[in-house]
Amino acid sequence: MITLLHDYQASRARLFKEYKEVQREKSADPDIQLVCDDSNIFKWTALIKGPSETPYEGGVFQLAFSIPEQYPLLPPQVRFLTKIFHPNVHFKTGEICLDILKNAWSPAWTLQSVCRAIIALMAHPEPDSPLNCDSGNLLRSGDIRGYYSMARMYTRLAAMPKKG
Amino acid sequence: MANQAEVSPRKRKAVEDELEMEASSVAAMTTMNMNQPAAEESEPILSNPSDGAGTSGSAEIWPGEYEWSCCFRDDEIMQQQSAIREEAAKVPYVGDKDPLSALEAEFESGDPILKEKIRLLGEQYAALRRTRGDGNCFFRSFMFAYLEHILVTKDADEVERITRKVIQCRLTLQSLGYTEFTYEDFFNIFMEQLESVMTSMSIEELLSRSRDQCISDYVVMFFRFVTSGEIRKRAEFFEPFIAGLTNTSVDQFCKSSVEPMGEECDHVHIIAMTDALGVSIRVVYLDRSSCDKGELAVNHHDFIPTAASSVGSSSSSSASGNITEPFITLLYRPGHYDILYRR
**Per-domain boundaries in chain B:** 91-312+322-342
Whether A63 is in a domain gets the answer yes
* Residue A8: domain span: 1-159
> What is the number of structural domains in chain A?
1
The pLDDT value given to residue A5: 57
Whether A74 is in a domain gets the answer yes
What is the arithmetic mean of pLDDT over A134-144?
93
CA max distance for chain B: 86
**How many cross-chain Cβ pairs, A to B, lie less than 8 Å apart?**
118
Q: Which residues contact B92 (CB under 8 A, 6 or more apart)?
A: B132, B211
The pLDDT value given to residue B74: 65
B214/A7 CB distance under 8 A: yes
The CATH number of the domain holding residue A150 is: 3.10.110.10
pLDDT in tens, B159-199: 999 999 999 999 999 999 999 999 999 999 999 999 999 99
> Nearest Cα to B67, choosing from A95, A131, A89, A94?
A131
The pLDDT value given to residue B317: 41
Whether A67 is in a domain gets the answer yes
A130: chain B residues, CB-CB within 8 Å: 69-71
Whether A164 is in a domain gets the answer no
CB-nearest to A129 from B26, B70, B196 is B70
CB-nearest to A104 from B183, B225, B256 is B256
Question: How many beta carbons lie within 10 A of that of residue B12, not counting itself?
Answer: 16
pLDDT in tens, A19-74: 999 998 877 889 999 999 999 999 999 999 999 999 999 999 999 999 999 999 99
- To 10 degrees, the CA torsion angle through A127, A133, A134, A135? -30
Shortest CA distance from A16: residue in chain B = B181
The pLDDT value given to residue B50: 39
B196/A99 CB distance under 8 A: no
The pLDDT value given to residue B307: 63
Cα(B185)–Cα(B200) distance, integer angstroms: 22
* pLDDT confidence band for A110 (50 / 70 / 90): very high
pTM over 0.90: no
- Give ipTM to 2 decimals: 0.91
Mutate to test the interface with A, among B182, B220, B253 (most CBs of A within 10 A): B182
Whether A46 is in a domain gets the answer yes
- Which ranges of chain B have pLDDT less than 70? 1-74, 291-294, 307-324
| The pairing of beta strand B281-285 with beta strand B328-333 | parallel
Q: Which CATH number fits domain B91-312+322-342: 1.10.132.10, 3.20.20.70, 1.20.1300.20, 3.40.50.620?
A: 1.20.1300.20
